[in-house]
């Protein structure tokens, strides 16, 4: 049975090109979240590495189920007795030049309970910036939601946020995770709007841990990690820099909002 009231945290980081330091920084921030009472914690996309080059993530790829990044996530969850949504980690594929950008979820005993591979791969160019994740990442193909002690959880990663059909594929859920590394350019324009829209249209909490600052590769990420309630209200937010965003989750609010505005029941297309 799900706990109805608890604290959850979104970790904001400014990860660099040294995996060991990133893991240490993540560990310190998770410990701070736990100190503040969090029992469900999410890390941002690329928490373990923001490399100098796109191919750096391929160089540190791990076999599914084995490696220092996965060991860190498992051991940290068990150490603190928390459920940990591990941002993303680069896992091997059959292509030696690409990885899966995988969100790994661990329970309070440190057991991995689920894996979601980012489906939508970011591509953007505006004259001064250019990104093409498909050159180093192999797309996933399966939406994911799971039952947990904290209600039903749904998962997405960064650019997935722009594709509402993904969220409809696993609705209804109680909490949606969106670990991200939004660029400063696209984040300034769209991040908050998209996150609040996903919360409102799915009548669910959204927990969005993000990268937030200027990295050693000179990439600037938007930050503004936040937790949003099912009515679209922002409960907590951190603009930039590493830190912990924490809020109380009350799952009875999902039921109350859905009872007063049963939009999920009123759907007629794509049901």
Render 22-36 in DSSP notation, one character per residue: HHHHHHHHHHHHHHT
Is 158 a known active-site residue?
Answer: yes
Is 118 a known active-site residue?
Answer: yes
Is 253 a known active-site residue?
Answer: no
From 45, 92, 133, 240, active-site residue: 45
* CA gap 176, 72 in Å, rounded: 23
From 103, 118, 152, 237, active-site residue: 118
* CA gap 135, 74 in Å, rounded: 29
Verify cis geometry, omega within 30 degrees of 0, for the bond prior to 172: yes
Spacing of C-alpha 162 from chain mean position: 14
Is residue 249 within 8 Å of 5, Cβ to Cβ?
yes
Pairing of strands 151-155, 175-177: parallel
- What is residue 251's DSSP assignment? T
From 48, 57, 103, 158, active-site residue: 158
Q: Could you give the residue numbers annotated as active site?
A: 45, 118, 158
């Amino acid at each position: 049975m799900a706990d109805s009231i608890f604290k959850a945290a979104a970790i904001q980081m400014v990860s660099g090109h040294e995996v060991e330091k990133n893991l240490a920084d993540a560990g310190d921030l998770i410990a701070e979240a736990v100190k503040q009472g969090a029992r469900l914690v999410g890390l941002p996309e690329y928490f373990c590495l923001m490399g100098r080059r796109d191919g750096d993530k391929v160089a540190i790829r791990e076999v599914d189920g084995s490696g220092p990044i996965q060991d860190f996530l498992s051991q940290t969850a068990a150490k603190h007795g928390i459920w940990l949504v591990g941002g993303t980690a680069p896992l091997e594929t059959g292509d030696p030049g690409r990885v899966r950008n995988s969100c790994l979820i661990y329970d309070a005993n440190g057991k991995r309970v689920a894996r979601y591979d980012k489906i939508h791969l970011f591509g953007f160019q505006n004259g001064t910036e250019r990104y093409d994740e498909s050159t180093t990442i192999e797309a996933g193909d399966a939406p994911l939601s799971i039952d947990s002690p904290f209600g039903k959880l749904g998962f997405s990663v960064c650019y997935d946020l722009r594709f509402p059909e993904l969220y409809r594929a696993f609705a209804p859920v109680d909490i949606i995770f969106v670990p991200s590394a939004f660029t400063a350019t696209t984040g300034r324009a769209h991040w908050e709007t998209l996150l609040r829209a996903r919360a409102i249209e799915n009548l669910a909490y959204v927990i969005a841990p993000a990268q937030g600052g200027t990295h050693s590769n000179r990439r600037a990420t938007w930050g503004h990690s936040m937790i949003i309630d099912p009515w679209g209200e922002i409960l907590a937010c951190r603009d930039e820099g590493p830190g912990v965003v924490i809020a109380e989750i009350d799952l009875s609010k999902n039921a109350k909002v859905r009872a007063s505005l049963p939009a999920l029941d009123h759907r007629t297309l794509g049901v």
